[in-house]
Chain A
Amino acid sequence: MRSSIQRAIKDILENRFLNAITIITMALSVLIVSAFGLFFLNVQDLFDAWKKGIRIMVYLAPATTETQRLEIGHRLQAFDGIQDIHFVSKADALRLMRKRMPRQSSLLDNLKENPLPDAFEVTLVSDSHSPEKIELLAQRIEGLPSVAEVEYGQQWIERFANFFNLFKLAGYGMGTLFFMATVFITANTIRLVLYSRREEIQIMRLVGATDTFIKVPYYLEGLIQGLMGSLIGIALLYAAFSAVGSQFQQNLSAEMVLIRFLPLSFCGGIIGGGMVIGLLGSFFRSNSS
């Protein structure tokens, strides 16, 4: 075994150029695939955070009286799936708007009367976030007297979820493609190495070496290529992540989401996968020549 490892390393060093190309290709594939993974992971986090924060805004008709308003508040509280309600008066709403748009506040000053409606902000309990449940709830709220309009981000979230799933599918498809391409490339390197070694292999056979003895170093070579390639790919991704991740973080701090790197288990999986690819490549190659 020790001599096999030595032979494998010697071989890699002797075919430096070829191996470098394979390792770089492998690293790039890993980089692209795991960049996708990183992106999905964080978008998923963000998405979850948004879903958690789903609110239903219940706008009241302009003529709603104080009693009607209290009545609606009670009825809302009685609904299933509602965690909390919070009354936002039209004055509060205007104040909030001023704060959010300081430049336009003079414009708001010119208003003769507050055009905003009174509203209830309804937070949902976390287990009623399925699109169907939210929709049902919204419909029931809409049926209450004095409720002018119910607004919730549902349609938008749903559309986004569909898009996200499509994107994910594309990601898997691409991952598969890269997987195959990388196996092919490793296989090709090993083929070229075997070709450049055909005389040596022939001699080894003539002096009584078994196929296993001859091939083990090439399997190891594939393994090492896979290991190096995926390590480099992940290291590159991490470097890129460290460089630009904090900027994204600033943009997202309002959403209460922390951008994170791929978990260790995922990195381990990619490295393991890279090694399997290398092994597969050398296996296919050395058995078909």
Chain B
Amino acid sequence: MPVNAKPRGAFSRVPLESKEKNAVIRMFHVHKRYGAKQALVDVTLDIVKNAFLYISGPSGAGKSTLLKLLYLAEPVSEGQIIVDGMNLSRISHRRIPLLRRKFGIIFQDYKLIPTRTVYENVALVLEARGQQRAMVEKKVKSMLRVVGMKDRLSAYPPSLSGGEQQRVAVARAVVGDPTIILADEPTGSLDDDSAATILDLLDQFYHRGATVVVATHDRSLLERGNGRVLQLRQGRLDLPADI
């Protein structure tokens, strides 16, 4: 599939009215405090369906925090978030897994289970959704092949290099065919070639209709694509003029 066959400016090109309708993630005046520390300050943001969006900013700006609020790893301190029609402040405990299944998440710290093999780590996502064994095996193996980790199926994460772990984390994030991909520094530990493979993979999902949000402070990543870039600085969003 040709990469970047479709312009990535979808976010800003959609007129305001239809943007509201199409918004798959909406944040209204969101604040996040960790004790006295203000990690996010009054963030208001719409992300439309099938956008490719970068959130950039220096270390400690609040990029990871913003993503964590979306999949409810952390509660907001103030404000509202709506994901695909679900109001996160009203969602029942029982439905949180349903919310999280909409996302494919590449965690900044990978979050691989150290006592499970590479295969098991990736398969977990599909098993948790109750998918058939044969299907799980097929999907997991093919995804691990894409990220170049097919030969390490039965290795345990602690025995992998940082970059290898990251590639497994990417495979796990996308194996469930998520509608929204949240990638927190997805190429932080990778060489240029591996990074390119991962970005191509994200592009593929984007072209298949997924919404992709990448948090990164890596300038080269921002320069590489033509996705929309938002700047976070000390918890505040530098909004472009057209939002």
Which A residues contact B (CB, under 8 angstroms)? 2-3, 14, 199-200, 203-210, 213
CB neighbours of B100 from chain A (8 A): 205-208
CB neighbours of A206 from chain B (8 A): 71, 73, 100, 105, 107, 111
- Of A2, A14, A204, which one neighbours B124 at CB under 8 angstroms? A204
CA distance A3 to B112 in the complex (A): 19
Given A200-B113, A204-B128, A205-B96, 8 extra CB contacts under 8 A: A14-B115, A200-B115, A204-B113, A205-B97, A206-B73, A206-B105, A208-B129, A213-B127
- Of B73, B97, B107, B116, which one neighbours A208 at CB under 8 angstroms? B97
CA distance A17 to B116 in the complex (A): 19
Which B residues, 93 to 111, have Cβ-Cβ distances below 8 Å to chain A? 96-98, 100-101, 103, 105, 107, 111
CA distance A3 to B129 in the complex (A): 12
CA distance A213 to B71 in the complex (A): 19
Please determine whether B115 and A210 come into contact, CB atoms closer than 8 angstroms: no
Given contacts A207-B172, A208-B100, contact A213 B115 (CB under 8 A): no
CB neighbours of B107 from chain A (8 A): 206
Q: B133 near A: Cβ within 8 Å?
A: yes
Please determine whether B97 and A3 come into contact, CB atoms closer than 8 angstroms: no
Please determine whether A213 and B111 come into contact, CB atoms closer than 8 angstroms: no
CA distance A199 to B100 in the complex (A): 17
CB neighbours of B125 from chain A (8 A): 207-208
**Residue from B73, B98, B100, B172 having most chain A Cβ neighbours under 10 A:** B100
Q: Using an 8 Å CB-CB cutoff, how does the interface string of B133-174 with A read, 1 for contact, 0 for none?
A: 100000000000000000000000000000000000000100
Given contacts A206-B105, A207-B100, contact A213 B113 (CB under 8 A): no
Q: Is the interface of A mostly helix, strand, loop or mixed?
A: helix
CB neighbours of B127 from chain A (8 A): 3, 213
CB neighbours of B133 from chain A (8 A): 2-3
CA distance A37 to B183 in the complex (A): 62
CA distance A207 to B104 in the complex (A): 8
Shortest distance from the beta carbon of B127 to any chain A beta carbon, whole Å: 5
26 contacts across the A-B interface (CB closer than 8 A):
A3-B133, A14-B115, A199-B114, A200-B116, A203-B112, A203-B113, A204-B113, A204-B124, A204-B128, A205-B96, A205-B100, A206-B73, A206-B100, A206-B111, A207-B105, A207-B124, A207-B125, A207-B172, A208-B97, A208-B100, A208-B101, A208-B128, A208-B176, A209-B124, A210-B97, A213-B127
Nearest A residue to B93 via CB reads A211
Nearest A residue to B73 via CB reads A206
Given contacts A2-B133, A3-B133, A203-B113, contact A209 B73 (CB under 8 A): no
Shortest distance from the beta carbon of B120 to any chain A beta carbon, whole Å: 9
Nearest A residue to B113 via CB reads A200
CB neighbours of A207 from chain B (8 A): 100, 105, 124-125, 128, 172
Please determine whether A209 and B128 come into contact, CB atoms closer than 8 angstroms: yes
CA distance A238 to B96 in the complex (A): 51
CA distance A210 to B103 in the complex (A): 15
CB neighbours of A204 from chain B (8 A): 113, 124, 128
CB neighbours of A213 from chain B (8 A): 127-128
**Residue from A2, A3, A206, A213 having most chain B Cβ neighbours under 10 A:** A206
CA distance A81 to B116 in the complex (A): 76
CA distance A103 to B98 in the complex (A): 90
